[in-house]
Structure 1
Amino acid sequence: MSSVNKRALSSEDLMQTALNLMERLTTASNASVDAASFARDASISLEQTNEVVELLQGVADERSGSHIALDYQDGAITLSGDAGRLDPVRLTPAESLALRRVLTTCSIGDDVRGRVETALCADPETDDETTVDKTMGGDRLLGGFYPVISEAIAIGARLAISYRAGDECGPNTRLVDPKLIEVSGDAAYLVAWNVEKDAQRSYRLDRIAHAELTDDSVERHDFSPYSAAESLRAHGADATLHFVNSGELASRDWEGIHRDTADEQEDGSVLVHISYTSVPWLFSQIAAAAGAIVIEGPESLKNDFRTWAKSLL
């Protein structure tokens, strides 16, 4: 094979060909490929193949610092050791949940979705089944900035987020040190340290209007291992709701329900205390229940609900 009949390789072509060679070497059972066959498949000359090999021999593994060991002799290219080996991409359980959510929301065909999940997602047995069910069911969203938030957690970077709390008309900026993402109830939450308030907070991902990495690293904080339900109890407002029966109560998976306070009445209805952070969300849930849920107290919340309901007419 002569280089005369082959076009010159641009730096981009050279890099792509090098990646193709590493993929072939990684998947080969003996980590070796025939140089002439590879050159033919890549439409390059043997001289250009040697250029590719020399390029790869100068590359070091980013984790270990070890150089890629390639042996090119007797017409064969052989990879020695693990430096540069192209491991298959496998997402973490949390990343898998996000991908599955996107695949479902976008109505991707079952065959395509199956291949993508098999290739990328963590094995089902490594996922927490309860978390998977909570994430995939209903109308739960991970918002539009999951990749940025996930990266910030991974590299320990401080985040500037634009966040709309339930009682706010629009988003406001928070500077936070992210800790983890927790899927709980009907939403996913970013557990983080609010730098301005110097306190731990949870932020619903679907209420984050923007997220951006800052140049600062996170500081060490004394995070409490409380759940979203405990966070609601600590920072939310309280109310008492009247459910028409225990079945209506059981069908709600709201994290803010204090189920230990449920008091069944003689007529089968149930009084229960709840914690909430979003008044519009609470009012929407009560309105959607069409009389099956009524606000028992406080009186000010009942009056606010009447005003809200009239505004919809």
Structure 2
Amino acid sequence: MADADAVRRQVNLTFALLGSDAPRSAEWIGANVDGYEGRSPDALHVVIKRDVDELRAMWVPIHFTDGQVRLNKEHYTLEPVELTEAEASVIGLAVDLAQGANLGALARSGWTKLAASGATRTFDGPPIAAVSNDITRLDPETLRRLLLGVRQRARLSFTYQRGPGAEAQRRTIDPWGIVPLNNRAYLVGWDVDRAAERVFRVSRIENVAKIAADDFHPPTGDLQEIVEKQLRGAVVDAQITVANGAGDELAARGTRDGNVIRLEGAERDWLVRTVASLAADVRAIEPADVRADVIALLKRAAGEEEA
């Protein structure tokens, strides 16, 4: 394997040749390409030949003849690749997965198409691999088949475990994409058996298989919005009174008047969990049923800590 200095020279040499329409002489390389300077003519030729041989072994179409180095750009440059927004998002996901040890090879395979297209990931949140155990523990073959189904617009069948202790179900889906939300990743698509859009947590998917079908259902709307709508629980209007100007998380989704924060159409589960996390600074909670849920959650948490 080439050492770090050799790799640096070879990369510099490749880019120098890509930026030139004509071959470059060994003397020019010695004077202008970082890593080749300070060598005698004979030593320079030896290093250039060795680097060219190693680059050719990596399928770079580079040649060193008669003291001239040239790169066949026609055989080196990738053809332009056009990606849809959904495909760019899928590849963005694969790149994010590079941080997961067991998925590095799959993630790196997305770089070629990504680089050729100039596309960027459309996720607004942080890289999934950095925050979601769903992805970093997902079986690479499962992910590969899901991504392939999305890209090929192919109907898929898979086993889905709704939750701990629940009986596994076989589901048939026209997959539209994989969407990150709240540190988790979800497959969104059309549930053929239920004739409706559905969302599935990817970490609970197994045994993915492709099914022949001629009637693939296209997406019915923005995938992120579909996932948020499907996972959104009951909503509630509430008024939370806090102390010391606390509750920025609540105020960000509502309005603040001093220490009183009002929320309209807030997701109930999120509201209860957020208010509970601010318990030391909360002075009043309306309506009463939300207050009861917060108290119940705090009691359960205290019981778990005591245990």
When normalised by structure 2's length, the TM-score is: 0.51
Q: Is residue 61 of structure 2 the alignment partner of residue 28 of structure 1?
A: yes
1:119-172 deviation per Cα after TM superposition (whole angstroms, max 9, x unaligned): 647249621365363536534643623211011223333222333447x75363
Please, which of 135, 150, 157 is the counterpart of residue 147 of structure 2?
150
Please, which of 179, 182, 191 is the counterpart of residue 179 of structure 2?
182
Letter paired with 1:269: I
Residue of structure 2 in register with 1:122 after alignment: 114
CA RMSD of aligned residues (A): 5.0
Higher relative contact order (Cα pairs below 8 Å, separated by 6+ residues): 1
Q: Is residue 128 of structure 2 the alignment partner of residue 135 of structure 1?
A: yes
Residue of structure 2 in register with 1:12 after alignment: none
Q: Distance in 2 between matches of 1:236 and 1:132?
A: 18
Q: How does 1:49-198 map to 2 (within 5 A)?
A: 93-106=88-101, 120=112, 122-123=114-115, 126-128=119-121, 130-131=123-124, 133=126, 135=128, 138-139=131-132, 141-142=134-135, 144=138, 145-165=142-162, 169-170=165-166, 172-173=168-169, 174-198=171-195
Please, which of 201, 205, 214 is the counterpart of residue 202 of structure 2?
205
Shift of 1:179: 1.7
Q: Distance in 2 between matches of 1:104 and 1:284?
A: 30
**Residues 307 and 214 of structure 1, relative CA distance in 2, 3 Å threshold:** farther
**Paired positions, count:** 222
SS in 2 for 1:225: coil
Q: Distance in 2 between matches of 1:138 and 1:295?
A: 31
SS in 1 for 2:172: strand
Unaligned runs of 5+ in 1: 1-22, 31-80, 252-258
Q: Which deviates the most, 214-223 or 129-138?
A: 129-138
Shift of 1:227: 4.2
Letter paired with 2:157: A
Please, which of 299, 303, 308 is the counterpart of residue 289 of structure 2?
299
| Contact 2:189–2:198 under 8 Å retained in 1 | yes
| Contact 1:181–1:191 under 8 Å retained in 2 | yes
SS in 2 for 1:223: coil
Q: Which deviates the most, 129-138 or 289-298?
A: 289-298
Q: How does 1:260-275 map to 2 (within 5 A)?
A: 262-275=254-267
Identity of aligned residues (%): 15
Q: Distance in 1 between matches of 2:161 and 2:257?
A: 38
| Contact 1:193–1:201 under 8 Å retained in 2 | yes
Higher helix proportion (structure 1 or 2): 2
Q: Is residue 219 of structure 2 the alignment partner of residue 223 of structure 1?
A: yes
| Contact 1:26–1:86 under 8 Å retained in 2 | no
| Contact 2:189–2:199 under 8 Å retained in 1 | yes
Residue of structure 1 in register with 2:248 after alignment: 247
When normalised by structure 1's length, the TM-score is: 0.50
